[in-house]
Chains A and B, each alone.
Chain A
Amino acid sequence: MMITIYYIIDYAVICSLANRQNEQFNDLVFLGEVYPETLNLIGKNNFYAAAENFPGKLSFYFRDISLVKNCSYDVLAVTYLPKFLKRLNCPVFFFKADEQNWKTDFPEDLFIQSGYTGICQSDDLIIFDDQSKLLRVSDEEWMNAIIGEKMWAVRINEIDEALSIQHLATAREKALIGLQYEKMALIEKINNKQQEIEYYKRELLAYKLKNDFIEQFLHARNEKGEAAQIQQFYNRQYEVLPGWYKKFGHVIKFLTGKRE
C-alpha cells in the first residue's frame, strides 16, 4: 500500500521519519507542504542531508504556486534527488493554482531549460504514457486521479500531528501484530485439537485392533479347546484300543468297500 503524508516542510520531521529507515517505507510518498515561512528550508543543507536518506519518495505540495519562483533553483535541485517522486523520468509536483494563470506563476522555462520536456496540462495527467513531461497536479481531485486507490492520503497541518500519525501508524502496526498473535494462538489451538483428534483416532484404532485381537484370540482359543476335546475323545475312544483290533477294523473297512 502506498501512503501519502502531507506535512509542513520541516527537516526535523523528515529526520524523524528518516530514522525509521529500517522499516518498510519504500512505497511511501511524503509530500512536503510548502508555506512561505518554511520555504527557505528547501534545498538547504539540513533538509538536503535528511532527504538523502529519506525513507520513501518525496514531492512537494504548493498551496501557493507562486512560491516556487522564490526558490526555483532549490526546488530544481531537490528534483535531482533519486528519492524525488518522478513519473516518466520527470518530477511530479502537487499544487493548487488558477487554471489560467498557473503557467505565469510556475517557472516552467527553467525546468524545460534544465532538460525536462515541459509541464503537461491537467487533462493529460491521467495518461502516463505521455512523453517525458513535468507532471502537474492542480488540485486534490487530480491528485486523487494520480494516486488512485494506491495511496492513503492523510492531511497533517501541524508537526505534532505529523508525529502523532507516526504514533498512530505504530499503534496500528502493533494492533496488527496483536491480531497476528491472536491468529497464531487460534492456529495453535486448532493444531492441538487436530493432534487430539489424531490421538483419539489412533486410540480408537488401537482399541479396535485390541478388540479384534482379543476376539481372534478367544476364537482361536475356542477352536483350540474344541480340537483338544476331539483329540481327547479320539485318544480316549481309539488310541487306547489294541493293535490287532485296529488292524481287524481295517480288514472290515476293506471288505465293506470303505477303504481301497
Chain B
Amino acid sequence: MLSCVVMYHSFYDDVVMPDLRPLADKRIIGGIYINRVMGENRNVIGEDLPKGVLLRHSPNCGKDIGGKMVLIDSFLRKHDKSDWIIFLHDKKSLHKSTGEAWKKKLWKIISKEFIEQALITISNNPDIAMIGPKSCKNQWGRNETDSSDMIVLVDKLSEKYNINKVEFCYVAGGMFWMKADIIRTFFSKWNPLAIRATLEKGNVLDNDRATVTHAWERLFGRIVESHGGKAIFF
C-alpha cells in the first residue's frame, strides 16, 4: 500500500487547511507535516494536534520553499519511510488578481479525481517521480517569469548542488506530488536547513528580480529529472 506524507506550509491566519479526506479515503495518507510561520500577532496552531501530525514553528524565510525545507529536514530526521510527499501551502498571491483561482488549481492535486488518476499513473509508470496540475505546468525557460536572470541563477544553483542541467517542467505555485526517494537522496547530500539559510526573508516576490526562493521552486522539477525521474501533469 502506497504511503503519502502531506507537507503543508501555513502562513496566513485566515486560510483553512485544505480537505485531506480524499487522501484518507484512499488509505494512502501516512502522516501530515505542518510548518507554521511564527511571528508577532500571529495565531499559532495548537500543540494538541492529532497523532500523526508533526508541527514545526519557524520564522518567515523563503516563503513556502523555506517551509518545505524545514519539513523535509524533519522528514529526514524522523527516517520517515513514506513513498511520496505531497507539498501544499496556503497560497494567496495578494500581488495577483488571480491568486484565489490559482490556489484552487493547485489544491486540485488532493481532489478525489486527481488522486485516483495519480494512483493509476504511479502503479503503471515506475519512472514517474513528480505529479502536478496541468493548469500550472511550466516548461522551463518558456515562461515569462523565467527571465534571463532566473535562468542564470537556476543554472548557477544547479552547478552548486550538483544537479544536471537538463530540460524540465515545474509547477508554478510549488504544489505537487514528489517521490520521497528522490527527496531522501538529494537532501541527505544537501542539508535542507543550509539551503533554507540561503533563501530570501519575508514576502519575497519574483516580479522585479530573480530570487533564490523562486529558483528553488523551479529546481524541484530539475532535481526530479536529474535523478532519472519523470514529471507528469493532468
Interface size on A, residues (CB 8 A): 23
**Which residues from B are CB-within-8-Å of A48?**
74, 77-78
Q: Is the CB of B193 within 8 A of A114?
A: yes
Question: Does B38 touch A at the CB level, under 8 Å?
Answer: yes
Question: Does B5 touch A at the CB level, under 8 Å?
Answer: no
Q: Is the CB of A82 within 8 A of B47?
A: yes
Q: Is the CB of A45 within 8 A of B78?
A: yes
Q: Is the CB of B77 within 8 A of A44?
A: yes
Q: Is the CB of A88 within 8 A of B40?
A: yes
**Which residues from B are CB-within-8-Å of A89?**
38-40, 57, 59
B70 to chain A: closest residue by CB? A80
Smallest distance from the beta carbon of B3 to chain A beta carbons, Å? Answer: 18
Within 8 A of B (CB), among A44-80: 44-45, 48-49, 52, 73, 76-77, 80
Interface size on B, residues (CB 8 A): 28
Contact among B47, B57, B73, B197 with A77 in the assembled complex (CB-CB below 8 Å) = B73
Q: Is the CB of A80 within 8 A of B57?
A: yes
Smallest distance from the beta carbon of A186 to chain B beta carbons, Å? Answer: 38
- A-B pairs under 8 A by CB, number: 61
Given contacts A73-B194, A114-B196, contact A80 B40 (CB under 8 A): no
A52 to B70, CA, bound (A): 15
A77 to B60, CA, bound (A): 15
**Which residues from B are CB-within-8-Å of A132?**
39-40, 59
Interface string of B50-79 (1 = CB under 8 A from A): 000011111111000010001001100111
B41 to chain A: closest residue by CB? A89
A77 to B54, CA, bound (A): 13
Question: Does A113 touch B at the CB level, under 8 Å?
Answer: yes
Question: Does B198 touch A at the CB level, under 8 Å?
Answer: yes
B35 to chain A: closest residue by CB? A80
Q: Is the CB of A115 within 8 A of B77?
A: no
**Which residues from B are CB-within-8-Å of A45?**
77-79
Within 8 A of A (CB), among B15-64: 35, 38-40, 44, 47, 54-61
Question: Does B201 touch A at the CB level, under 8 Å?
Answer: yes
- Jot down 24 A-B pairs with beta carbons below 8 A, ordered by A: A43-B77, A44-B77, A49-B78, A73-B193, A76-B193, A77-B74, A80-B35, A80-B56, A82-B56, A82-B57, A83-B47, A84-B57, A86-B38, A86-B57, A88-B40, A113-B61, A114-B58, A114-B193, A114-B197, A115-B59, A115-B60, A115-B61, A115-B201, A116-B59
Question: Which A residues have a C-beta under 8 Å from some C-beta of B?
Answer: 43-45, 48-49, 52, 73, 76-77, 80-84, 86, 88-89, 110, 113-116, 132
Question: Which B residues have a C-beta under 8 Å from some C-beta of A?
Answer: 35, 38-40, 44, 47, 54-61, 66, 70, 73-74, 77-79, 191, 193-194, 196-198, 201
